Amino acid sequence: MSQVGTLYIVSAPSGAGKSSLINALLAEKRDWTVQVSVSHTTRTPRVGENNGEHYHFVDVDNFKQLIEENAFFEWAEVFGNYYGTSRVTIEQALAQGIDIFLDIDWQGARQVRAMMPQAKGIFILPPSRKELEQRLNKRGQDSEEIIAKRMAQAQSEMSHYDEYDYLIVNDDFETAAQEFSAIVKSQRNAQAKQAVKHQATIKELLEQQS
């Protein structure tokens, strides 16, 4: 019996640093495997983004066909673009003992939890609204109009922090990265998972001696 992976739902307002925290964890050296779910989206690729690596880029008609086929764990429309998480891909990876990170909003999180209540939620907050706006401007990815929309939506998004299992305030990045890693490591060491991983050892330890 192999160890089943954990599904992590990671949410935050844009600019809070969730992608950077996930990437820092992926860069760690460990004896277990973690992956980021590659979502489908209808938005245009940004500079440096590759199809199949950062997103599966599809057109609107293709995306709607996948919705009809019930192919998504969750999907949503954000700023006029569709985003969705493949159901089969997630289930296959978890069955192989791989931990999966979903970078989705609170609405998508609710959809996923309805189908997989055992998923663990992590919410990332910025230290202040001023800092959040500065980070969005420094990224240089969005127009002033889009940044204004993101800031307007941020307060609504952040109000759902209490629907998650864990909360990290990303003020000092190194500290936040350590907290993020500690959450994942603690889940790997949960009794149920360790019992599966070390079942042979436990069996030997508990066998009655003749």
For residue range 28-61, what is the model confidence (pLDDT) as tens digits? 867 678 888 988 999 999 888 999 888 999 999 9
CA distance 81 to 59: 10
Q: Can you name the residues that pair with 103 across neighbouring β-strands?
A: 10
Instruction: Give the pLDDT mean for 74-92.
Output: 88
For residue 136, the model assigns a pLDDT of: 85
Q: Does the pLDDT of residue 70 top 70, yes or no?
A: yes
- pLDDT category at 210 given cuts 50, 70, 90 is low
CA distance 8 to 124: 13
- Read off the pLDDT of residues 154-164 as tens digits, 9 standing for 90 and up: 989 999 999 99
Instruction: Calculate ∠ Cα 87-142-59, nearest 5°.
Output: 40
For residue 3, the model assigns a pLDDT of: 65
Looking at domain 7-197, its CATH class is alpha beta
The ranges assigned to domains in the chain are 7-197
Q: Name the average pLDDT for the chain.
A: 89
Q: Residue 126 corresponds to which tokens in the numbers above?
A: 């910025």
Q: Within 9-95, where are the H helices?
A: 18-26, 60-68, 87-95
